[in-house]
């Protein structure tokens, strides 16, 4: 790779993402004019995060992931927060910021935890085995995970949903991995865990559990999980903000006075 000929001092900021020159933009080694013409938005996101363009299969699966994250109605705290802020007359960027700030351990935090779980277990075998993982190894990992979590009465991240007994997004995502021939070790592990958990507890994969497996098979590290979720969810949040401003009365109330129970002195 050819080095850029520019002066570097102690205040220089090094980046491998984009280079801005007069009348020219280069991103990850590609001329942005060419990218505008030739690739889809999902491929651009993949390029920005991974440093390379995706293959056809990778492009399709990454697109499926982004679409599955787009919206979950007005039920999530982030969407409700965005709509309340928008109803106060705040600008769109403030409402979006409020939504993003509401993401935390209980909301949107499962994707990274699930990616860490899958990858740590798969990596523990890959580091000690020369051959490809077989079904017996995957099954053994699934049993270890199941026993570990349920012996402590913990919830396995990526499983169960407060609204769905069978998350339709997760079901469709797994179907798409099979259709596209993209069933890698992390997806196999997710399916094996689901078989155990469903047989014994009646609990199935949720959207985070499915996407954590797909993103892991795509080679993304857990620290990018939340970021990819945000990329997928922001369009839905913006749509809700716009709807709130256009169709609803101003100054939405979280609750009425009649709903407030005072417990102080």
Q: What is the pLDDT of residues 219-265, one digit of tens each?
A: 999 999 999 999 999 999 999 999 999 998 888 877 788 888 999 98
Mean pLDDT, all residues of the chain: 92
How far, in Å, are 29, 30, 175 from residue 3 at the CA level? 12, 15, 44
Query: pLDDT above 70 covers what percent of the chain?
Result: 94
C-alpha Rg value of the chain to the nearest Å: 22
Q: For residue 130, is pLDDT > 70?
A: no
Q: What is the pLDDT of residues 154-196, one digit of tens each?
A: 999 999 888 898 999 999 999 999 999 999 999 999 999 999 9
The pLDDT of residue 1 is: 45
- Pair 51, 175: CB distance under 8 Å: no
How far, in Å, are 111, 141, 152, 159, 198 from residue 156 at the CA level? 12, 13, 11, 6, 12
CATH number (1.10.230.10, 3.30.360.10, 2.60.40.1150, 1.10.150.300) of 110-223 reads: 1.10.230.10
- Name 220's Cβ contacts closer than 8 Å, sequence gap at least 6: 49, 50, 115, 228
Hey, which residues does 237 pair with through a beta bridge? none
Element (H, E) at 191: helix 185-201
Q: What is the pLDDT of residues 47-78, one digit of tens each?
A: 999 999 999 999 999 999 999 999 999 999 99
Nearest to 53 by CA among 65, 40, 68: 40
Domain ranges in the chain? 24-54, 77-104+225-253, 110-223
């Amino acid at each position: 790779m050819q080095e850029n000929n520019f002066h570097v001092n102690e205040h220089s900021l090094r980046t491998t993402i984009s280079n801005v020159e007069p009348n020219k933009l280069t991103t990850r080694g590609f001329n942005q004019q060419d990218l505008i013409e030739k690739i889809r938005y999902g491929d651009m996101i993949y390029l920005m995060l991974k440093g390379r363009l995706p293959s056809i299969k990778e492009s399709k699966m990454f697109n499926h992931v982004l679409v599955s994250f787009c919206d979950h109605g007005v039920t999530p705290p982030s969407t409700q927060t965005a709509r309340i802020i928008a109803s106060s007359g705040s600008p769109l960027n403030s409402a979006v910021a409020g939504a993003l700030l509401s993401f935390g351990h209980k909301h949107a935090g499962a994707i990274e935890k699930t990616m860490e779980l899958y990858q740590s277990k798969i990596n523990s075998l890959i580091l000690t085995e020369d051959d490809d993982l077989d079904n017996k190894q995957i099954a053994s990992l699934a049993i270890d995970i199941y026993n570990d979590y349920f012996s402590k009465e913990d919830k396995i991240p990526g499983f169960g949903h407060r609204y769905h007994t069978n998350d339709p997004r997760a079901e469709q995502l797994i179907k798409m991995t099979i259709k596209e021939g993209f069933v890698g070790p992390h997806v196999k592990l997710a399916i094996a865990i689901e078989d155990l958990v469903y047989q014994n507890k009646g609990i199935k994969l949720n959207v985070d559990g499915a996407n954590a497996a797909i993103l892991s098979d795509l080679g993304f590290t857990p620290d990018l999980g939340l970021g990819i979720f945000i990329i997928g969810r922001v369009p839905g949040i913006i749509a809700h903000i716009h709807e709130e401003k256009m169709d609803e009365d101003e100054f939405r109330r979280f609750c009425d006075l009649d709903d407030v129970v005072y417990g102080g002195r």
